[in-house]
Structure 1
């Protein structure tokens, strides 16, 4: 019951955000083409660059799309800067006021480096999106908080480690993450290498799904973070970026780690678009050996449930796959 109450609290906090489905009729081809045309344009005069990206576009969402696509496609992720910022965040994690003061002071410094080197950490991506969106007439804010990825799982004492944006379009607020849209950092022979690869799933993302791997910290003067909410966020399943394309939202189990008795079943439930069609599978990994599960699949409008029985003891990594793309991972301990 406690987990359900916490989950309700988290969902209630993001109901004020809309999602990209509001703009199904919009073709972003022109906006993306303009962003590509101005590839490698100078950052030294942001008003001019913003005007060039948006002036010929008719709708507000297309204008913001051109800005977002340009930022995500032209700025490299600076891994060394990320490590320095993460280290500082960790040192100040227990001093909220000091953290907020430092976080505000570092943003202009990060932006100056961004202008000179065209690379940055998440703070720089969020700051650049905000500055250009504001120049184009949008209300756009930076949101600081916690980000979870398959390669970046959090602990109870983890410090805030990520920044993203909210933007107001047609009187509604939307969420986006230009850092995670830009590509990924790959470590090769011990050296980090940023691979630019635009990913569309974090543009005006589904708010409920977004909350599965983004947890905001409160601004100065607002109520402090409730520990049970943060704990529930940290304990959630691993969500892969491919889930954002549909979107596909894992809603049960609530937690990643689950203990059951031998012979019991676990129901894995996904919220899917009403028109969704796709081959849904469970992959069961036990001791490094992986095989396909044999769940009973129950389909209803907007929801898919996979009921998997576990007949043998052991520790299972359970991966949910749709169209051969990983969506989520759970850990099931069978006693």
Structure 2
């Protein structure tokens, strides 16, 4: 039996209230990136001076912000040990007054480490981006909310655990996350690996909302706003989805149940004119891993569909890769 989850096309193609990186598809950011590289490891004792050095030679708002953003992502190290300490402490505190006291002291430590060691966590990245942008004459704000990855905010009530930025360029708001652009923690190497990821720079709000859920829903920059429950229980979304502007995944929930021999229709939408060179499924089960080059259907409006029949019982993790980048994951229990 074939099972298909349908979804409202009005939801898939929700009208953006604001804008995204593709607005600057014709902008050459190489000059901005070169300027950022020129001031590698510049001290943070005079942010106004640093902002001026990063932006004074660049003509446009988007180039100025790009230099600031790239500098922060490439020069500030993520303090994973500090993140773990904060996470463990916050989870152990039950009284609101104890949590408030911890947060106050922790914030002071975050900024002390940022200024002295150029190491920080997400709130430090967001603060530095805002301050440098403000000194450069740009309007930039910090957004607090829920960050979602393989280890955080998978189901449950959710924990507000992340901070990122919105910047106003040419009278439009754009979303970005310098923390997640700076690299990622490699569990196999047990260390944070620096690697700039452009996916979170001026990202498509439709894609961004799948792993960034703001406390103030207006900062989704969307006409249609998913609920927190939908966010916490949806498929797991990766930076590849933001890079390729993938959104509106269906089924809408991470955990699925199917009968042996049942076919599930997976669907998603994609913005832009980029050519889909390959769309693969990697399925991991107990002691097995298989990769399939899929046959997919697509339509003129940017919708894609892939059908897969599950022949083996057990819990299987289904990863989708678009042009060799992971975009999203489901967990399917086959009975």
TM range (shorter): 0.7 to 0.9
Match of 2:115 in 1: 115
Q: Which residue of 1 aligns with 2:171?
A: 171
Q: Spell out the pairing of 1:178-217 with structure 2 (5 A cutoff).
A: 178-187=178-187, 192-217=190-215
Change over 3 Å in CA distance of 1:274–1:53 after alignment to 2 = same
Given that 1:167 and 1:175 are in contact with CA atoms closer than 8 Å, whether structure 2 keeps it comes out as yes
Q: TM-score, normalised by structure 2?
A: 0.85
Equivalent pair of 1:282/1:292 in contact (CA under 8 Å): yes
Gaps in structure 1 of 5+ consecutive residues: 220-227
Contact 1:248 1:271 in 2 (8 A): yes
Instruction: Give the aligned CA root-mean-square deviation in angstroms.
Output: 3.0
Map 1:77-116 → 2, pairs under 5 A: 77-90=78-91, 95=96, 107=107, 109-116=109-116
Q: Mean Cα displacement is larger for which, 38-47 or 297-306?
A: 297-306
Question: How does the TM-score come out when normalised to structure 1?
Answer: 0.85
Gaps of 5+ in 2: 1-5, 218-225
Alignment map for 1:1-335 (pairs within 5 Å): 15-90=16-91, 95=96, 107=107, 109-187=109-187, 192-218=190-216, 229-249=227-247, 251-272=249-270, 273-293=272-292, 296-301=295-300, 302-335=302-335
Is this contact kept in 1: 2:279–2:293, CA < 8 A?
A: no
Asked if the contact 1:271/1:303 (under 8 Å) is kept, the reply is yes
Comparing 270-279 with 206-215, greater Cα deviation is found at: 270-279
Q: Matched residues in 2 for 1:102 and 1:131: separation? A: 24
Moved segments of 4+, more than 6 Å:
97-102
How many residues are paired up?
Answer: 319
Question: In structure 2, do the counterparts of structure 1 residues 313 and 200 end up closer, same or farther at CA, with 3 Å as the change threshold?
Answer: same
SS in 2 for 1:62: helix
- On the 8 A contact 2:319/2:328 being kept in 1, the answer is yes
